[in-house]
Amino acid sequence: MIRIIFIFIVLLASVLLGIFLQKDPGYVLITLNKWTIETTLWVAIIGFIVAFFAMYFFTSLLSWVLGLPGAWKRWLAKRRVRKARAKTRQGLIEFSEGHWQNAKNHLIKALPGTDTPLLNYLTAARAAQELGDYKLRDDYLRDAQQSMPEAKIAVELTQAQLQLANQQWEQALATLKHLQDLAPNHPYVLKLLSKLYEQVRDWPQLIALLPELRRHQVITGADYLRLQQHAYLEALLDSIKHNHPDAVDEFFTTRPKALAYNPEIIAVYSHYLLKQERNSEAETLLRRTLVKQFNEELISLYGQTKDAKLKFAEEQLNDHPHSSALLLCLGRLSKTKNLWGKARSYFEKSIQLSPSPEAYLELGTLLEHLNDREQASEAFHQGLLLITKNSRPTLRSN
């Protein structure tokens, strides 16, 4: 609408100007040195307009001609970028498909014109690792760092990932320690460190790292509890293996509250106490833990403790009448107190619920002690059958 009004005004002005010039065409005289130009105002205006457009066209043409070299360079640059992007896309597709050599070649060839050199170098480094060329991998990582110095953390994280995948533990540790200096609370650095310590079985270092993992929510919930339990359990086993009694006891007593009644850790430490003939300590620990939470392995261990209390074990039967491990424990405790009939009954009930070589062995030993050799032989035979059945290899049918 505005354009229509504007055009109407221009046309109206042109008509009025034409009428005015028709009545009085005016007179224009231009003198330059010996040259003199005389004309009407109307012709002068038209000449001025023609001259203006001619000059505008000439300057535009001159500007276009002078700009041709720059335009050519820009066109070539855009063409290089397009080709580089196409090669980069092709390289990324080939990398995803597992064509490592082709992917590496396309990504590197795209470098002169690419606007993503960091991506090209890092992906090419991964491809080089898949090809087993670790020197070339490190060269690409170094080039990636030089192409974008501000991406140092990203480059070194990739380097650490590749070193971990290639089981280069010492190099990975050095890289991750350097990353910790650059970014002390970086979640992914902490996560990779935890994986490294777990792989090399450096349990003290992993345990020391656990608070940082929780504080920065690198691992949370059930995953954190599993990692914590695994680290403390393996550290306890290593300490026992190296036979340092004071260190074992100190480590066990300083375990976190979350693991105070952990069945696996309690079982390992109880085994250790029994081997050390510290039966009273083992009995107290097992009993207190079983009061908190019943566990089949722990009640079985309790039955092997010399200081175990038959009355306490019988009280557990009220809440766990169908536990074969508890019945086996009761049979063993009754046997140590020469309660032969009660022991036999418990062993037989345990076998009825869940037959096990241990229960058959205990029953056979008891029957042998009672001079019932035929029944004892049958119990030993059944126990042996269970052992051979569990260890028999499975044959595949074609």
Residues 223-257: pLDDT tens digits?
999 999 999 999 999 999 988 888 899 999 999 99
- Looking at the predicted structure, is the pLDDT value of residue 292 above 60? yes
Identify the CATH homologous superfamily for domain 76-145: Tetratricopeptide repeat domain (1.25.40.10)
Question: What integer pLDDT is reported at residue 50 of this predicted model?
Answer: 74
Question: What integer pLDDT is reported at residue 178 of this predicted model?
Answer: 95
Q: Which residues of 336-359 are buried (b: 16+ CB within 10 A; e: fewer)?
A: eeebeebbbebbebbbebeebbbb
Give the H or E element holding residue 35.
strand 35-39
What does each C-alpha distance from 124 to 91, 144, 146, 160, 222 come to in angstroms?
Answer: 9, 10, 15, 15, 37
Which band of pLDDT confidence, cut at 50, 70 and 90, is reported for residue 388?
confident
Q: How many residues does the chain have?
A: 398
Question: What integer pLDDT is reported at residue 13 of this predicted model?
Answer: 66
DSSP 168: -
Identify the CATH homologous superfamily for domain 309-389: Tetratricopeptide repeat domain (1.25.40.10)
Residues 175, 178, 180, 186: is their CA dihedral positive or negative?
negative
In percent, the amount of the chain with pLDDT more than 70 equals 84
What does each C-alpha distance from 55 to 44, 51, 63, 66 come to in angstroms?
Answer: 16, 6, 12, 16
Question: What integer pLDDT is reported at residue 191 of this predicted model?
Answer: 96
Question: What integer pLDDT is reported at residue 300 of this predicted model?
Answer: 93
The region of weakest confidence among 100-114, 156-170, 284-298 is 100-114
The region of weakest confidence among 26-30, 260-264, 356-360 is 26-30
Q: In the predicted model, what is the mean pLDDT of residues 48-56?
A: 74
Q: What are phi and psi of 37, to 5 degrees?
A: -120, 125
Q: In the predicted model, what is the mean pLDDT of residues 114-142?
A: 92
Q: What is the distance between the alpha carbons of residues 114 and 85, in angstroms, rounded to a whole number?
A: 6
Question: What integer pLDDT is reported at residue 76 of this predicted model?
Answer: 57
Q: What is the distance between the alpha carbons of residues 153 and 186, in angstroms, rounded to a whole number?
A: 10
Burial class (CB in 10 A: 0-12, 13-18, 19+), 372: middle
- Looking at the predicted structure, is the pLDDT value of residue 392 above 60? no
Q: Where are the domains of the chain?
A: 76-145, 309-389
The better pLDDT of the pair 194, 6 is held by 194
Q: In the predicted model, what is the mean pLDDT of residues 269-273?
A: 94
Question: What integer pLDDT is reported at residue 267 of this predicted model?
Answer: 96
Question: What integer pLDDT is reported at residue 31 of this predicted model?
Answer: 72
Question: What integer pLDDT is reported at residue 16 of this predicted model?
Answer: 65
**Which residue type occupies 39?**
T
Question: What integer pLDDT is reported at residue 307 of this predicted model?
Answer: 85
Q: In the predicted model, what is the mean pLDDT of residues 129-153?
A: 93
Question: What integer pLDDT is reported at residue 25 of this predicted model?
Answer: 63
Residues 280, 283, 286, 287: is their CA dihedral positive or negative?
negative
Average pLDDT in the chain: 87
The region of weakest confidence among 56-70, 112-126, 204-218 is 56-70
Residues 74-101: pLDDT tens digits?
655 577 768 878 888 999 999 999 999 9
User: At CA 142, angle to CA 140 and CA 148, rounded to 5?
Assistant: 100
Q: Which residues contact 101 (CB under 8 A, 6 or more apart)?
A: 127, 131
76-145 and 309-389: identical CATH topology:
yes
Q: What is the distance between the alpha carbons of residues 343 and 365, in angstroms, rounded to a whole number?
A: 11
Q: Which residues of 48-87 are buried (b: 16+ CB within 10 A; e: fewer)?
A: eeeeeeeeeeeeeeeeeeeeeeeeeeeeeeeeeeeebeeb
- Looking at the predicted structure, is the pLDDT value of residue 323 above 80? yes
Which band of pLDDT confidence, cut at 50, 70 and 90, is reported for residue 338?
very high
- Looking at the predicted structure, is the pLDDT value of residue 397 above 50? no
